[in-house]
Chains A and B, each alone.
Chain A
Amino acid sequence: AQKVTQAQTEISVVEKEDVTLDCVYETRDTTYYLFWYKQPPSGELVFLIRRNSFDEQNEISGRYSWNFQKSTSSFNFTITASQVVDSAVYFCALSEWKAGGTSYGKLTFGQGTILTVHP
């Protein structure tokens, strides 16, 4: 069975601080996909990134960066120079994919990390 653990329930930082959100996953599949989503106070989930299990290259998008380490089954998310608008709940998710099969794109979500950025 798949499992995603986001051990940090809540994080509070002051604007301009860097913050890292941890994500640890468990799966028996050799091929899988990892996702991060942002849920602002309005409620909708916004897709941030997808990474497959064969691509361990770190990725940077503006103030956001992701560190994927297969050896530790972690896919951590860092926000550099945080802003008040970054305040949201952030979810890490895992999707299986079996070669020759159909995954239907089902996601297993972590419990989420509530990030509050104070001015």
Chain B
Amino acid sequence: SQTIHQWPATLVQPVGSPLSLECTVEGTSNPNLYWYRQAAGRGLQLLFYSVGIGQISSEVPQNLSASRPQDRQFILSSKKLLLSDSGFYLCAWSRTGVPPTPQHFGDGTRLSIL
């Protein structure tokens, strides 16, 4: 069976510090990978998606970047965090192909910027 791991679960960072959140998927190959942000009391906003190693698409301009160094590894980064980067970050994967398959989500990372 497939599993998705996301860490850390909680993170408190000062403004201006760097960020690295990691997500890995097991039990499947060549998945589509996604990073979402959920602000408090709001819906999910798609930040990045990837259909293959080194292939990253950004959905919204922002202070964050994403990378996919390996097939089942997806990393969310920032060089200098802003207060507005606070939120709940969720990684997700889906099977490649059409029609669109359900996305399966990790447990999320709660990021607080001080």
Contact = CB atoms under 8 A, between A and B. Distances in A.
Given A44-B107, A95-B100, A106 B46 contact: yes
Contacts of A97: 98-100
Interface size class for chain B?
Answer: 20 to 34
Contacts of B58: none
Contact of A104 (B43, B49, B90, B104): B49
Contacts of A31: 99
Main secondary structure of the interface of A (DSSP, over half): loop
B88 A109 contact: no
B44 A105 contact: no
B43 A105 contact: no
Contacts of A52: 99
Interface of A: 31, 33, 35, 37, 42-47, 50, 52, 91, 95-97, 101-107, 109-112
Interface of B: 32, 34, 42-46, 49, 51, 57, 59, 88, 90, 92, 94, 98-108, 110
